[in-house]
Amino acid sequence: MSDSPMKSHVFSVLDEPYCVWEHPEDNNNLEFLNGIDPAYFSFIAERMRSAEASVDDDRRAATALRSAYHHALETFFSLAGALVQAPTCVYGWLEQCETKSLRTLVEQISENRFNSLSVVQGAPVTWETISAVVHSRMDVSEAERARVVSGFADLWGRSARLFLRRENIDEYNSVKHGFRVQAGGFQLSMDVADNEQVEARTTKFDLGGSKYGSSYLRIERVGGTAKSNRSFTPRRHYLNWSAEQTSLLLFLLSASIGNVVAFLKLLNGGGDQINSTCPTDDEFQAPWDHTVGVFRMDLARQIPDWAVSVTTKQDLHAHLATLGLKRHSGE
């Protein structure tokens, strides 16, 4: 490929190799990076909170805030993955990296078992080593650099756990695919009787809750767990979260994205100095000071396996045929 008059970028998404060709005078990667606005997410965090909003508008704003948070997580981890595997062709790596592959990459980095091709040399690929690379050109003392590296590495590790959590994935999919969610959290408490008598005095235990959160429906197999079984039943899932925590995390993710983009620009000829954002220790810690107690719950009518029929693809095609449904050629 070195004999070609065109410029090529060869990279992997996990272990899948790709090659992007471009004119030798072009720097599409830098142009792409210059188009990223990391401050977008901090802008959303600032604009979506208002003490003067009505109850309904407050919930709508909280949902928009939560959606932006999920979006920021996906954006940051995508850029981090591109930094690790294709820093000279970020736009190409992002185009070829599917969501499933991105989650695999984040999980492997978090568990210190990433062994795909990487530009990070001399150390295992962890959030600590990635943060050390991103903040290696900061014009600060070594002590300050170590503090910032550690702070962001901890943030990214915690954020990775949230990014990979099943209920957060389902919530994000429900929000972005037609807003199939109901806004608002829930409170959970339990009354415990002092003894077994009918009129016994009870003590109420508050298990926590939040006015902010979401609920959404998922369908789950019923009648058997085999993949060939196409019978499902709905289950409603409830999530609680802190709008304040979400807002604070958005600011930190905005800074994270900005620092990664600044370093990538430097690698691609976009400058000779990095002006990284350096949150204080209190700012790194602030989001985790906001808790909601119980954060998830799911409810569904219990349907025993014997009450439904196990169905297969062939069964359902046959049933649809009895309804008179026909295929259309589109002509």
208 domain-assigned:
yes
**Structure tokens that stand for 240 in this block:** 């609680």
Determine the pLDDT at residue 328. 63
C-alpha distances in Å from residue 17, one per residue of 104, 113, 193, 280, 306: 16, 19, 63, 40, 48
Between 228 and 152, whose confidence is greater?
Answer: 152
Q: What is the pLDDT of residue 203?
A: 54
Q: Which amino acid is at 149?
A: V
- Domain with 226 in it: 7-322
Does some domain include residue 1? Answer: no
- Distance between CA atoms of 53 and 61, rounded to whole angstroms? 9
Mean pLDDT over residues 35-55, rounded?
Answer: 84
Between 159 and 66, the higher pLDDT residue:
159
Higher pLDDT, 77 or 185: 77
CA nearest 24: which of 8, 2, 7, 3?
7
The answer, yes or no, to whether residue 170 has pLDDT greater than 90, is: no
What is the reported pLDDT for 283? Answer: 97
Tell me which of 21-35, 39-53, 185-199, 313-327 is least confident.
185-199
**Angle at which helices 243-267 and 127-134 cross, to 10°:** 60
Mean of pLDDT values over 311-326? 86
More confident residue, 1 or 126: 126
The CA-atom distances, in angstroms, between 324 and each of 79, 310, 317 are 50, 22, 11
What is the 8-class DSSP label of residue 183? E
**Is 331 inside any structural domain?**
no
Give residue 172's pLDDT band: very low, low, confident or very high (50, 70, 90): confident
Q: Provide the token pair at 214.
A: 């979401």
Asked if residue 312 is part of any domain, the answer here is yes
Q: What are the b/e assignments for 222-253, b being 16+ CB within 10 Å? A: bbeeeeebebeeeeebbbbbbbebbbbbbbbb
Let me know: does 296 contact 166? Beta carbons within 8 Å.
no
Structural domain tally of the chain? 1
pLDDT at 68 over 90: yes
More confident residue, 176 or 72: 72
Q: In the numeric block, which tokens belong to residue 257?
A: 């994205």
Q: Per-residue pLDDT tens for 82-116?
A: 999 999 999 999 999 999 999 999 999 999 999 99
pLDDT at 304: 81
pTM for this predicted structure: 0.83
pLDDT mean over 171-179? 77
User: Shortest CA distance to 157 belongs to which of 145, 146, 147, 149?
Assistant: 149
Q: Determine, yes or no, domain membership for 76.
A: yes
Q: What is the pLDDT of residue 299?
A: 67
> Residue 144 and residue 278: Cα distance in Å, rounded?
9
Q: Which helix (H) or strand (E) holds 149?
A: helix 142-164
Geometric angle at alpha carbon 168, from 12 and 216, rounded to 5°: 130
State pLDDT tens for residues 183-232. 554 454 444 555 565 565 655 545 456 677 777 777 888 888 888 999 98
Q: pLDDT at residue 30 above 60?
A: yes
Q: Is 189 helix (H, G, I), strand (E, B) or coil?
A: strand
Q: What's residue 151's pLDDT? A: 98
Domain assignment present for 36: yes
- Alpha-carbon distance of 254 to 33, in angstroms, equals 15
Q: What local confidence, expressed as pLDDT, does residue 2 receive?
A: 55
Residue 296 included in any domain: yes
pLDDT digits over 270-316, tens only? 876 777 899 999 999 999 998 876 666 676 678 887 888 889 999 99
Confidence of residue 5 (pLDDT cuts 50, 70, 90): confident
Find, among 256, 238, 243, 239, the residue nearest to 290 by Cα: 243
Percentage of the chain exceeding pLDDT 90:
50
- Position 190 scores a pLDDT of 47
Q: Strands 232-240, 296-299: parallel, antiparallel or unpaired by DSSP?
A: antiparallel
Q: Is the pLDDT of residue 326 over 80?
A: no
Q: How far is CA 146 from CA 20, 124, 125, 131, 136, in A?
A: 36, 18, 17, 10, 10
pLDDT at 202: 55
Q: How many CB atoms lie within 10 A of CB 295?
A: 18
